[in-house]
Structure 1
Amino acid sequence: MPMFATAGSKLYIGGVLPDQNSDFAESDFDGETWTEISRLESLGSLGDAASEVTFEDIGQQRTKRIKGTRTAPPMELVAAIDYDDAGQQALIAAEKTNDNYAFKLEFPDAPAGGTPSERYFIAIVGSQTEAYDTANNVMKLNASLWVNSNVVRVDAAEGV
């Protein structure tokens, strides 16, 4: 697959989607009504990491490491403030709750007549702040998504 730029990617917020005891699958996001979060400048990063668990082995005089629980670092969003954007309004409203919301990230990599790559996950909107900076800057909406699930990867597909 060729490389592609982040430009053209889209992020959507869905409704409240509670956590579950097993990993999410693409079908768990069926039926969601998606609202695009517009005016995005930065999507941050999305992924998973294991916590480090250590053991001090006296006999070997060595610290041993194993993987513990999994965690995803916050996905830090930056957007130009747009009071009329329904996606930004949904993001701000979601921050006022303690609920997990469904999110869909769509990449601009669809083959001709095909479908793009997508990422699905749930997250709590942990923060939303406005940044004003200096005179020659666009006022920004910054939001932190606390990812609380695995990230479901859907690859781009050729058209049928």
Structure 2
Amino acid sequence: MSGNAVQSAGTRYFIATGANATKKCTTEAEYKALTWTEVEEVEDFGAFGEQYEKVTYKTLGDGAVHKKKGTVDYGSATVKLARIPTGTGQAAVKAAAKNRKTAYNHKIEFDDAPDGGTPTTIYLNAYVMDYTTEIGGNDKVIEASVGLEIDAEPVEVAADDAP
């Protein structure tokens, strides 16, 4: 059985702003209660997800290397933007990059909402590690790269046909 693949076009990226922007959320309800600002001109969100450390040990009896799963790293992502540092969302991301102490909440919405429903949404608690400028060559817009280091297990909420 195969599902319906969702195209990237229409995906939107938000950063939490306001009083609870840096509250470490763990549930859908906590994330939904936040105030969100859309980050403008996203070109690519990059890959992210759980990766486990490989733990190995060697036993004398069979002369083999044995493997286990160790600690989990929730990953990182590099978000590519057409650079608009004065845009409300990009300014919020840029400010978050200057905060050395606190992770911010982020939201990604796919363009897969059923008629009258809600889209698949992924919530992240992540440090904004950088906001860098990429000038590139001819026939390119000036871009920005935003580095995110995810600090907690992402919360994914499936698309739903009830708003």
* TM-score after normalising by structure 1: 0.92
Cross-structure match for 2:89: 87
- 1:17 pairs, out of 23, 27, 33, with 23
- Listed as ranges, the gaps of 5+ residues in structure 2 are none
CA distance in structure 2 between the aligned counterparts of 1:30 and 1:109, rounded to whole angstroms: 18
Query: Alpha-carbon deviation of 1:35?
Result: 0.5
What residue is the counterpart of 2:32 in the other structure?
A: 30
Residue 66 of structure 2 aligns with an amino acid whose one-letter code is K
Structure-2 residue corresponding to 1:149: 152
- Determine the structure 2 residue equivalent to 1:134: 137
Partner of 2:52: 50
Q: Contact 2:76 / 2:150 at 8 angstroms: preserved in 1?
A: yes
Mapped partners of 2:49, 2:35: distance in 1: 24
| C-alpha distance in structure 2 between counterparts of 1:37 and 1:143, whole Å | 11
Counterpart Cα distance in 1 of 2:7 and 2:31: 26
Among 106, 114, 117, the alignment partner of 2:117 is 114
Q: Which letter does structure 1 place at the counterpart of 2:123?
A: Y
How far apart are 1:127 and its partner, in Å? Answer: 1.4
Name the structure 1 match of 2:99. 97
Distance in 1 between the 2:75 and 2:33 partners? 27
What one-letter code is carried by the residue in structure 2 that aligns with 1:45? A
Q: Give the letter for the 2:94 counterpart.
A: I
User: Deviations along 1:28-49, whole A, 9 cap, x unmatched?
Assistant: 2132110001101000012111
Instruction: Supply the distance in 2 between the matched residues of 1:154 and 1:30 (Cα, whole angstroms).
Output: 11
Please name the residue that 2:127 is paired with: 124
**Which runs of 5 or more residues in structure 1 are unaligned?**
none
User: 2:7 aligns to what?
Assistant: 5
In the TM superposition, what whole-angstrom CA distance separates every residue of 1:56-108 from its partner, at most 9, and x where no partner exists?
A: 12211111111111102311100001133111001110011121101111000
- 1:126/1:83 Cα in 2 relative to 1: closer, same or farther (>3 Å)? closer
Percentage of pairs with the same residue: 28
Residue 82 of structure 1 aligns with an amino acid whose one-letter code is I
CA RMSD of aligned residues (A): 1.4
Deviation at 1:159, TM superposition (A): 2.8
Partner of 1:41: 43
Amino acid at match of 2:107: K
The Cα of 1:17 is off from its aligned counterpart by 2.2
Q: What is the aligned partner in structure 1 of residue 68 from structure 2?
A: 66
Q: 2:161 maps to which residue?
A: 158
- Counterpart CA distance in 2 for 1:72 and 1:45 is 11
Number of corresponding residues: 156
